[in-house]
A and B are shown apart, each in its own frame.
Chain A
Amino acid sequence: MITFIALIVGLITIISAIHALRNPNMLTSILFLGSMGLSTSILYLLLAAVDVAMTEAAIGCGLTVIIFLFAFRQLKKDRQ
């Protein structure tokens, strides 16, 4: 069962990583990066590394996305 869950979560991670790189829309890219962080943290949880999973969920899915969104807004403002 765990193998099955790990496979699905791993696939989600890979797909969102590819989308984060290749999506033409920057905002969607950032959101895909967040989903990649979340699914990576689930993988850490399955590897029984709860400490790392907590940190990854908070940084990879929360903090990085917020910082990128701030930077994205700044870029848009500068371009106008």
Chain B
Amino acid sequence: MRLTKVFGKMKHRVVLPALLCLILTGLLLWMWVFDRRGFEGLPEISRLYTREAINTLQSQNVITPIVLSWRGFDTYGEILILLLATAGVAYGIRTKREESRSQRRGLEATRIAKAGISILQPLILIFGAYIFTHGHLSPGGGFPGGIVLSSGFILWIITDPQNRLRRDLLHLLESVFGTVYMVLCLLGLILAGSFMNLTYLPAGRMGELFSSGAIPLIYTAVGIKVGIQLLQIVENFRD
């Protein structure tokens, strides 16, 4: 409430520069959208990545080998940032609300919402698993798949305040899949010669589910880990 009052006072001083920034950003994006070049127009490094992704890993979605192999440290850092955020939320909120958790009360969803969610939840979970197992074939991958997976459980959480997730199980699963991710990356160092080199499993044929080396395995681990981390954040934010 107080924030909106502050914004009301600073109306012209804040809104006009903000609008100017927005218009400039829009113009920049506009130039990017209508400046699509073909394969030959790409910079050298992009062409190299595209060629290597197809030649060595037979990946249909060229972005996945870049994200997981050549730029694998970025993905690793993102997961660490998410872990830090989860730990921060847990530390900030848990200490205060531990006693009130036993008598959790809140609004229960209507019968229609409950019936609808019981039909929707399995479909959402299957779709989430589909997104991260098919990360090398179609757009998607570990992060979107994990988020969809966790949204299925969040729907189940919000129907009834009595529905609870077992925290110890969540912690265990999160650490197991984090370790699996790290071990799969280290296997590249042992078997293929460099860290996060995913060519130690056969590349297979383009377009098949079991292709692209270890990408499907790594994306499964990343997807489940991300989903569980987001689930922990939401679970902590619940009263």
**Interface residues in chain A, defined as those with a beta carbon under 8 Å from any beta carbon in chain B:** 6, 10, 14, 18, 21-24, 26, 29, 43, 46-47, 50-51, 54-55, 58-59, 62-63, 66-67, 70-71, 73-74, 77
Contacts and interface: CB of A to CB of B under 8 A. Distances in A.
B8 to A, nearest CB: 7
B233 A67 contact: yes
6 tightest A-B contacts by CB? A50-B139, A54-B144, A58-B147, A70-B237, A55-B144, A51-B139
Contacts of B22: 14
Given A47-B29, A51-B63, A51-B141, A70 B234 contact: yes
A10 to B, nearest CB: 6
- Count chain B CB atoms within 10 A of each CB in A26, A43, A46, A66 and give the residue with the most: A66
A55 B33 contact: no
B7 A26 contact: no
Interface of B: 1, 4, 7-8, 15, 22, 26, 29, 32-33, 63, 106, 131, 139-141, 143-144, 147-148, 150-151, 154, 158, 230, 233-234, 237-239
Given A54-B139, A55-B143, A70-B238, A63 B8 contact: no
Contact of B239 (A21, A51, A54, A73): A73
A67 B234 CA distance: 6
B1 A26 contact: yes
11 contacts: A23-B4, A50-B140, A51-B63, A51-B144, A58-B148, A62-B147, A63-B150, A66-B154, A67-B233, A71-B237, A73-B106
Contacts of B4: 21-24, 29
Given A47-B32, A54-B144, A22 B237 contact: no
Contact of B140 (A21, A51, A66): A51
Contacts of B148: 58
Contacts of A46: 33
A67 B29 CA distance: 30
Contact of A77 (B150, B234, B239): B239
Q: Is chain B's interface secondary structure helix, strand, loop, or mixed overall?
A: helix
Given A54-B131, A54-B139, A55-B144, 10 more contacts: A23-B4, A26-B1, A46-B33, A47-B32, A51-B63, A59-B147, A63-B154, A66-B158, A70-B237, A73-B106
Contacts of B233: 67
Nearest to A67: B237
A35 B182 CA distance: 37
Contacts of B26: 10
B239 A58 contact: no
A70 B233 CA distance: 11
A54 B147 CA distance: 9
B33 A58 contact: no
Given A22-B7, A22-B8, A54-B139, A47 B238 contact: no
B104 to A, nearest CB: 12
A26 to B, nearest CB: 7
